[in-house]
Structures are given as structure tokens and as C-alpha cells.
Chain A
Amino acid sequence: MKALEFRRNVPRFAAARLAGSLTPGRGASVGPLRLADLEPPTAPGPDWVRVRPRLSGICGSDLATIDGRSARYFEPLVSFPFVPGHEVVGDLDDGTRMVLEPVLGCVSRNLAPTCDPCSAGHLGNCEHTTFGDLEPGIQTGSCHDTGGGWATAFSAHPSQLHPVDDSFSDESAVMVEPTACAVHAAILAGVPDGAVVTVLGAGTLGLLTIAALRTFANPRTIVATARYPSQRRLAAELGADLVVEPDDVRRAVRRATGSRAVSLAVDDGAVDRLSGGTDVVVDCVGSSASLTDALAITRPRGRIVLVGMPASVSLELTPLWHREIELVGAYTYGTETLPDGSTARTFDLAAGLVRAADLGRLVSATYPLHRYRDALEHAAAAGRRGAVKVAFDLRDEKEREALMEMSK
């Protein structure tokens, strides 16, 4: 079976970190990731099924791993070697097309009773991601036992699988998982009606978050930052009222909220921070700079939702303290409580949004597995190269058919 495998290899990890810092995505060439011919996955349990990916997306968290930028926090939460890939649409052996919900919670780990978050449907908050029948791994794509989407096959628990309607293209289907992240963030943001929301970053997650905010909240204005022309166009199309360069966000939010500016020098016209500001920031970047911007533009008692995966950041937290700003993380998905009190699986909400907003169009480029270096460099430079989502296309991989034959 053909797969991209990530092994524990400290020197190569260091090399990836160096290469990735010079050219994003270059960690794929020198790091611990390699194209390998592996044995087909063995089902970790009796209920597990085999999935043969059709499209498998490349996520920002994947790129951070490949380029050696991910936090050491994750070390006990993964098991090596693993096959990355958690944004997947694929076929079961019976030909059913499925989308993967990759979180590995208590049910897939065969743990009973399930932890409180899993019992409440909040799989992303599972307390037992290092326990049970599986090796550690918070998701498929970071767990040795399950394999991952960057391969011609992997194992999945039935609780992880959502059938795909025939009217969905593969491109639309592969967007359901990242869209679910955005839907979760948009709902978690708790945007008051008529509020001003600012979305930092217009990569895949930023764009999807804009679309989710338009659907699952009722803001008066969405301000978005976007660095590249194609991102600016898409941000506006998906619902941002005002799209600005990242450097202009403080001025833009000031204008949108009617706030005054506070400058370090008295009344010199510079906008160092705002007197009031936006009600909610959704930070889809997760860097020191974006969080500093977020703290500068959030109103007192406002909320910052951190969607972009941070590593170590250096941050002046005085405004968080002084302005009583709430900083919350938004990780994956599970079950959402809607304004009318009803509940719904995030994936179901996401599938609806993908269809309504035609989010399959955000898949900009696909690559065969053997061109993984090109794919990862493209994904790392997606904005600059006018792309949004880059994915591996496994539909024509020879091993895919061979596996099918073997299963017969």
C-alpha cells in the first residue's frame, strides 16, 4: 500500500524545521515524511472498516507538522510512525462513499463508560485520547493504529463515518471536515445579533469561518483580513463586508465600530489600539502578530476565538487583563447547540453549508501521492499562488484497485 509516513526522527525533524522556516512546505523534502510502501492497515477492532481515500486534504496543522513547527504539546498525543491525513472522502469496500470525522474519542477507543465530553457529544474535547484500544492519537492522521488519509487505505470506526449524498462531488465532500471546524468556531464565538466580527486570516479556515458566521450568526459587519487578491475576492464572496490587508486591520475595525484610536504617542494619528473595538475576533492565524492584533481591536469584555493552531507565541497580555477580554480556543467539532435550543452534529451542519455556499470550489489543486513535495509546497504557499485547499487525489492510484481486488 502506498502511503506517506511520518516517523520519529529527531535529526530529520530539525532539518524540516530549518527548511520549513526558509521555504514553507519544504520540510517535506528533508524531514521525517517519506513515501513508503506499507502493509495494508489491520483493523484495530472488530467493528472497524477499511476506507480507500478518494481525496485527502492538506490542512494547516499537517503543514506545521511537516515543517517541524507543531508544539511539543502534541508529543504524547500522537503515536509514531503515523500516516497524516484527516480531511478525507473515501470509499468503503462495499463502494459506499463516506466522509471521515477523524476525532478518535471514547467510542472508537472502545472505552466505556465514555468521558463526560464524549457523552455530551463534544468529541473534540475527549479526555481519553491516549487511552483505550488504540495507540495515542487525537485524530485519524496522528494515530499509528488507524493509518491516515495520505495513503491508499486506512482504518476507520463506523462512528467516524458519514455517508455522502450522491449529489456531492468529491471536492465538496472533502471540504466538510474543515467546514465543520469553521462552523464550530462560528457557533462557539457566540456572536451577539448586530455585532461586528473580525476574522483574521483568509486561508481555508478563515474563508470557511466567514461563510459559517454568515450562516450561523447574525453579525452586522464582518471585517476580514486577507493578504492576497484571490483571498480578498473569496472573503467578500463568502460574506465579509470589509476585507483589508492584515496591516490595515486596526484602522478598518476602528472605522467599522466607530471607535477611537489610542496611540502610544498622544494624538499622533497612529492606531496602536482601539478605545472600543470589535465584539468578536476569530483568529484563524494563531501567531503572535495575529493575537496581538486581536487584543488591540477587541472591545472590553469582547471575545477572541482562537481557531488557527498556535505554537509558542510571545504576547503582551495586559489588554486581556485590563479589558476583561475572553480568549477561547476552538478545536474541531462534535455537537452544537443552536440558538433555538436544538442540537445538531457539526458535520451535518457543515455538509449543509458546503452545499449552500458551494464550498467545493475552494479545492484549487490536487496532486497524486508521489508528488507530495510539490503538493505540500503548493499548500504552504496557497494564498500567494491563488489557491485555497490543496488535496491529494487518490482516485487513480493503482494500489487502490489492487486493494479492492484483495478484499474480494
Chain B
Amino acid sequence: MSNGHLAPRPGFVLDVDRTSPPIVFHHGEGFRLEKLPADRTRVIYPAEPLEGLTDPDGAIRSALLNPLGDSEPLPALLRPGMKLTIAFDDISLPLPPMRRPDIRQRVIEAVLDLAAEAGVDDVHLIAALAIHRRMTEDELRHAVGDRVYDAFAPSGRLYNHDAEDPDGMVVLGQTPHGEDVQFSRRAAESDLVVYVNINLVAMDGGHKSTATGLSGYTGLRHHHNVHTMLNSRSFMDRENSALHASNWRMGKVLRDADVKIFQIETTVNNNTFGREGPLSMLQKREWEWSPKDRAGFLTMQQGLKLMPAKAKRKAFSSWLAPYELTSVQAGEVEAVHEVTTANVYRQQLVPVEGQTDVLTMGLPYICPYNVNSIMNPILVMCLGLGYFFNLYRGKPLVREGGVLIMGHPTPWEFHPVHHPSYIDFFEQVLADTTDPAEIEKKWEKQFAEDEWYIHLYRTSYAYHGAHPFYMWYWGAHALQHLGRVIVVGGDTAAVRRMGFQPASTLQDALEMATDVVGPQPTITHLKNPPILMADVT
């Protein structure tokens, strides 16, 4: 069943020539129009949004009744007197946050309906945030809907996961690799854990949902580390990801410990900025812009120039993506995730031939860890060298020893509530070294066990003390692979603190890149978002 839009076009690679228009680069809470060198540059465009399911609620119910893999339908797993835990993805998904009703609300309501029909009373809902910051009431309401929130939160049955609650966490065993499998005690002691996922990128989902989302530092340190990052090529490609291999091993330990998981995974399309509306031109190809698109873009640019940073941040944060559900599947974790990954690839995978000397990217205003917050320099690094660099299958878009040029204002600014440990990481750790392995060895434990960070994580809305380290590790593969990283339009001091080179324009950056890759390098621009993943052969 379709929504009746024209058949979406797949992603493609544009070879830039002299007639190609300037390309829109995301640049934090703003944009840059960049004219790219002709005859040696290519631009990878994401696919147009797939058609969304016309009856999402029907599709969800159907998935619950027709599970994949070795799983009974959900109603058969529900019985009176049982202990049921529904865990769901946190504020980091999707990006940007989606318009109401959020997919999680739809799925959770369907699960709760079945639970009610089966007479299940002992139900807890947990935001599976691992060591991310806690979600606020507004954010929880947005995710699960007011009806669910009002029914469960006041009685303490809807809450944020607390990975530092000594009574609330349990180690269920070790993998053959000696990895501790730490898990939420409530989930471990439940007769059934239903996990509600939004699989925005191929990294998400599978055993990572539970083995990471309901775990804590004791468990996470086994796969959120420099070694796994250097051995994940890429961490968006589960089959070649040490990060995922560890999570999958942990998934087996969970199974062996009789933790029964019913996994519900969903995918959304690329309708990030809307087919119509003020940002719709951002998911169109520049040469296809209508006069209205051009006028709208220019007006927006002028307006943004006049707005103070805070106002711009507020304006962008208020954007809710009109994502549409493209698939929902439920049942046994691995069987479900196979189908989910195929659906993610169906939307995001773009075939690309060969690597490039210089990879460019324009980083947007948002990443998984600054929703309703500030994109601090560490998150800029994580988004560029972590997420975007790793959006490949096969081999990196840029050759070994090549140059990555990313554009972002990179302000030396931190959200004091959300990112207190980031401030210290930036001031103390990066002032000491930017080498991920050295950082891990010398500093991680101290930050992870810092009582104040733990206090703020548990009682306020702060990311855990270990989190900035994971952000830095996320870029470890890129740091090892690249010959140089250049940041266009960033705060010079902040860029230098991270060991990167600042440039004021893309042209300057391209000139600087020739010091590393030689004259007339090949250039590839990753035009993202909407999200694409390069399938590089």
C-alpha cells in the first residue's frame, strides 16, 4: 500500500561539470552554497523518500501478530500475572525528532492494548538510554504520547533507565570474550522484554538495542572502545563491525540467561524536511529547485544571518520531521534485524564506485546527542568523523591518507546541564592528547567513575562521564585512516584543540588539502542529510 506519491528516485552520484549549480552544504544552524570544482568532483545524493505505509497502526498490529524467526505472536507471550517490561529508544532517535504521533507511541499503544487484553498488570516502560542523558517529561510525552505517559509515569511505571543504580543493575554473565553483560534488573527479572526501536541508520537495532540500551558502563566499555572502533569497517555495517559482534555475543548471553526479548523494529523514510514547506528544498536536487524554492532558500539565508545564535538554535530545534513509517517487523531479534537492515538499505544505500582523495561534508545542526541542546565541538567531531565518515559499506569513501573537509561553526560552547563532563574532557583531556588510545588508557576510568558526573547523570539531565570518550572513540577509525581533517568556518581555537586545521572557506580548505593529497585531487561530497549510506566498490 502506498501514500500515492510519485515513485521515489534512488540516490545517485552527480559528476560536477561547469554547468552544475552551487551545492547546499549544511553548516550547523545555517547553510553554505558551495561551487565545487568541475570535472573532478562528484556529489552523492540521497534517495528520495520511500513511500510510507498508509496504515501504520495496521502494519504494527500485523507485525505483532505475525512475528519473524523463532517467536510466538505477541498475544501468545502475554498472560495474567506476568512481569512485562517495554523498553524503547531514547531521545537520540530519530533525528530530528519526528512529528506526533511518534512511532514509539504507535507501537507502545499497540503492545499495551494486547497486554491489557491478556490481563497483564505488571508493566514497566523504560527509556533505554544506557548512559545518555535522561529524557524530560516533555520528551517522554512526545515519544510515548500523553495517554501512555499519564497512565504510567505518575505511578512510577514509566521512567528513564538508570545505569548507575546499584540495586537496579545486574551482571548476567560473561561472553566467551570475557565481556561482562550488565543489564537492567527490572528487564532481567521480567517474563518478557518488548523492545521498541526506531532504526534510523544501519548501526541501530538488533542486539544493540538491549545489550547497549539497557546496560551501563560495566557492559558498555567492552564494545564502546577504541579497539572495536578500529575494527569496525564500518560500524554502520553490522557484518564487519566489532561493535556489533560484541553486542551480538552479549545478546547470546542474555538469551542463555533466559531473558526473553520480543523485538519490534521500525524504519522511516528520508522525508526529513518535508515534501512541502519551508525546508523542503533541502531534500531536492539543486538544479530542480523551483523559483519558490530558490526564493525560500534565499529568504531563509537572509533571516538566519540576522538571527542571534540562540534564536537560530531554537528555530532549528523546533523542527519536527514528517517521517513516515516504511516498515515494521517484530519477533526474534536477529530475524527481525535482518529485515530491518534491508529496509534501511533500501532507503539509504547509494552505489559509489571507487574512493576519493578528498571527502567533503556539511554537518547539520543536530546529532544524536544534542537534541534540544548545543552541538559542542566534541559532537561535531563525532558527527563528522564518527557517523558521517562511517556511513559506508565496503570501504571508506575517502582513500587512506586522504583528507576530510567538514563544515560546521564548531562553537566553543557546551550545554552545562547536558554535557558537564564534555566541558572537562575538552578542557583537560584534549589539552593533553587527542590520541583516542592514549585518552582511553589515561583518562576514561577517572571520568567514568567520577561521582559528580554520576550524580548529575542520575538526578539531572547530564550525559554520563564516560560519554564524551565514546564520542571521541567514534572517530578513531577516521583519525587513523585520514591524512588530515580540515574544518571550514569553525571556531579556530576549538578546531585546533581537537587537532584539526581550521579554514575560513571551502576553497581555502581544498587548497590546504593539496599539501597532503597533491594537486588536482578528486573530490567527493557526501550530501547528507537526508541520510545516505555509500556502498563503495
A248 CA to B459 CA, complexed, in Å:
24
Tell yes or no: B446 within 8 A of A by CB: yes
Chain A residues with Cβ under 8 A from B451's Cβ?
Answer: 258, 260
Closest CB-CB distance, A56 to chain B, in whole Å?
37
A242 CA to B415 CA, complexed, in Å:
24
Chain B residues with Cβ under 8 A from A254's Cβ?
Answer: 452
Closest CB-CB distance, B369 to chain A, in whole Å?
15
Given A251-B423, A260-B451, A267 and B428 contact (CB-CB distance below 8 Å): no
Chain B residues with Cβ under 8 A from A245's Cβ?
Answer: 427
Closest CB-CB distance, A150 to chain B, in whole Å?
40
Tell yes or no: A255 within 8 A of B by CB: yes
Interface size on A, as a range, is 10 to 19
Q: Of residues 407 to 455 in B, which have CB atoms within 8 Å of A's CB atoms?
A: 415-420, 423-424, 427-428, 446, 450-452, 455
Contact among B416, B428, B460 with A242 in the assembled complex (CB-CB below 8 Å):
B428
A242 CA to B418 CA, complexed, in Å:
25
Tell yes or no: A269 within 8 A of B by CB: yes
Tell yes or no: B456 within 8 A of A by CB: yes
Interface size on B, as a range, is 10 to 19
Tell yes or no: A311 within 8 A of B by CB: no
Chain A residues with Cβ under 8 A from B416's Cβ?
Answer: 268-270
Chain B residues with Cβ under 8 A from A394's Cβ?
Answer: none
The reply to whether A251 and B427 contact each other, CB–CB distance below 8 Å, is yes
Of chain A, the residue at the smallest CB distance from B460 is A267
Tell yes or no: A292 within 8 A of B by CB: no
Of chain B, the residue at the smallest CB distance from A266 is B460
Tell yes or no: A159 within 8 A of B by CB: no
Q: Mark A259-275, 1 if CB is under 8 A from B, else 0.
A: 11100000111100000
The reply to whether B428 and A252 contact each other, CB–CB distance below 8 Å, is yes
A234 CA to B107 CA, complexed, in Å:
61
Given A255-B446, A255-B450, A260-B451, A268 and B417 contact (CB-CB distance below 8 Å): yes
Chain B residues with Cβ under 8 A from A258's Cβ?
Answer: 450-451
Of chain B, the residue at the smallest CB distance from A268 is B417
The reply to whether B459 and A267 contact each other, CB–CB distance below 8 Å, is yes
Tell yes or no: A330 within 8 A of B by CB: no
Q: Mark A113-148, 1 if CB is under 8 A from B, else 0.
A: 000000000000000000000000000000000000
Tell yes or no: B172 within 8 A of A by CB: no
Contact among B427, B446, B450, B460 with A269 in the assembled complex (CB-CB below 8 Å):
B460
Chain B residues with Cβ under 8 A from A268's Cβ?
Answer: 416-417, 460
- Which of A244, A248, A252, A268 counts the most B-chain CB atoms under 10 A from its CB? A268
Of chain B, the residue at the smallest CB distance from A262 is B452
The reply to whether B420 and A269 contact each other, CB–CB distance below 8 Å, is yes
A261 CA to B460 CA, complexed, in Å:
13
Tell yes or no: B462 within 8 A of A by CB: yes
Chain A residues with Cβ under 8 A from B415's Cβ?
Answer: 269
Closest CB-CB distance, A194 to chain B, in whole Å?
17
The reply to whether B424 and A269 contact each other, CB–CB distance below 8 Å, is no
Chain A residues with Cβ under 8 A from B452's Cβ?
Answer: 254, 259-261
Chain A residues with Cβ under 8 A from B419's Cβ?
Answer: 269
Contact among A255, A259, A260 with B428 in the assembled complex (CB-CB below 8 Å):
A255
The reply to whether B446 and A267 contact each other, CB–CB distance below 8 Å, is no
Given A258-B451, A259-B452, A269 and B428 contact (CB-CB distance below 8 Å): no
Given A260-B451, A270-B416, A255 and B424 contact (CB-CB distance below 8 Å): yes
Closest CB-CB distance, A215 to chain B, in whole Å?
25
A334 CA to B452 CA, complexed, in Å:
43
Q: Of residues 495 to 535 in B, which have CB atoms within 8 Å of A's CB atoms?
A: none
Chain A residues with Cβ under 8 A from B420's Cβ?
Answer: 269
The reply to whether A251 and B455 contact each other, CB–CB distance below 8 Å, is no
A248 CA to B429 CA, complexed, in Å:
13
A399 CA to B416 CA, complexed, in Å:
62
A254 CA to B428 CA, complexed, in Å:
12
Of chain A, the residue at the smallest CB distance from B462 is A269
Closest CB-CB distance, A253 to chain B, in whole Å?
11
6 further A-B contacts with Cβ under 8 Å, apart from A251-B427, A267-B417, are A244-B428, A258-B450, A259-B452, A260-B455, A268-B417, A270-B416
User: What would 15 A/B residue contacts be, using CB atoms closer than 8 Å?
Assistant: A244-B427, A251-B427, A251-B428, A252-B427, A252-B428, A255-B450, A258-B451, A260-B455, A267-B417, A267-B460, A268-B417, A269-B416, A269-B419, A269-B456, A269-B460
6 tightest A-B CB contacts, nearest first: A269-B416, A267-B460, A269-B420, A260-B452, A269-B417, A248-B427
